[in-house]
Amino acid sequence: MTFRHPYTNTSTKELEKYLKYIKKHNLKAVKLSTLVKKIENKENIDNYVVFTIDDNYKSFYKNGLPLFKKYHIPFTLFVYTKATEGKWGDFMTWKMVRECAKYGELGVHSYAHPHLPKLSDKEINQDTLKAINLFKKRIGYIPDMYAYPYGEYDERVKKIISKYFKVIANQNPGAIDLTTPIDDLDRIALTGKVNIAEKLKLKRLHIKNLIIKRNKNSITEISGKLINKIPYINIYLTDFGWKYHIKIKNNKFCFHPDFKLKRFRNRIIIRYNYKIFSRMIIKY
């Protein structure tokens, strides 16, 4: 299981609660790269937790880092390189980023934090190369981990980003298990007040051949095959809301929302109890 932790959206009190919970329940908090190695080796990752932080805000350095140090819990920090290089006030300096790397590890969070699906192939390559070159210059190495800005991506974006990075984190809510592709890692946002025990119960729902049919910007069909036997599923679509108790027949489900997307960034969540699967849909 992995977590996204936008520091600006939580309090130190909340964060300390999560870290205490991890310690109290003897969960194994590791860096993302450690978890990836375990996935590659098909080792048991049941009790593993990863904290990831997008955007290297100074507030994390000031308030978050001391707590991770106090509890000896590592983390993976995805760096918005333009903000740090440009010495933007709210963002860490390269010195602070290097200090963070001592207690966790670093990943790339783009150069200019663009909406990647809005860019051309050439522009995506350019942004990524700028970030990579800054890492080389300021940190001395290039991480093999990347987190999409705003969690936005589609197949085209993914294809380009995967040329540069082996490990890619999205922002689709979900849990990780040994079937999770390491270039499409779901995360759970820890924002506001979170019931950590409930979040940790989430497990990946296994769906084969997920089909999202669309007619321009209308979602006409969501269908797929379930690997495990479950009686029904609930499906959520941004702005549409939840459709409950969708029947399963011969392990298959088929739902016709006939819903026109309203936003650029949309989400589909498929759930059965604590089993969860989600995907991003971009409106073009």
Binding stretches for Zn ion (CB under 5 A): 54-55
- The Cα–Cα gap between 11 and 4 comes to 14
Cβ at position 78, least distance to Zn ion in Å: 7
- The Cα–Cα gap between 14 and 21 comes to 11
- The Cα–Cα gap between 109 and 112 comes to 9
Comparing CB distances to Zn ion, the nearer of 30 and 77 is: 77
Cβ at position 157, least distance to Zn ion in Å: 15
Cβ at position 221, least distance to Zn ion in Å: 32
Cβ at position 178, least distance to Zn ion in Å: 28
Cβ at position 151, least distance to Zn ion in Å: 8
Comparing CB distances to Zn ion, the nearer of 55 and 127 is: 55
Question: 1 with 200: CB under 8 angstroms?
Answer: yes
Comparing CB distances to Zn ion, the nearer of 35 and 169 is: 169
Helix (H, G, I), strand (E, B) or coil at 104: coil
* Tokens found for residue 198: 């409930």
181 exposure class (CB count in 10 Å sphere: 0-12, 13-18, 19+): exposed
Cβ at position 104, least distance to Zn ion in Å: 17
Cβ at position 148, least distance to Zn ion in Å: 9
Degrees, nearest 5: CA angle 192-83-55: 25
Region at 244 (left for phi over 0; alpha for psi -120 to 50; beta for the rest):
beta
- The Cα–Cα gap between 148 and 128 comes to 11
- The Cα–Cα gap between 112 and 80 comes to 7
Comparing CB distances to Zn ion, the nearer of 110 and 277 is: 110
Comparing CB distances to Zn ion, the nearer of 108 and 219 is: 108
Comparing CB distances to Zn ion, the nearer of 55 and 85 is: 55
Comparing CB distances to Zn ion, the nearer of 110 and 207 is: 110
Cβ at position 95, least distance to Zn ion in Å: 21
Q: How far apart are the first and last CA of the chain?
A: 31
- The Cα–Cα gap between 169 and 177 comes to 14
Question: 264 with 115: CB under 8 angstroms?
Answer: yes
- The Cα–Cα gap between 188 and 215 comes to 30
Residue in 166, 154, 148 with CA at minimum distance from that of residue 4: 148
Comparing CB distances to Zn ion, the nearer of 81 and 255 is: 81
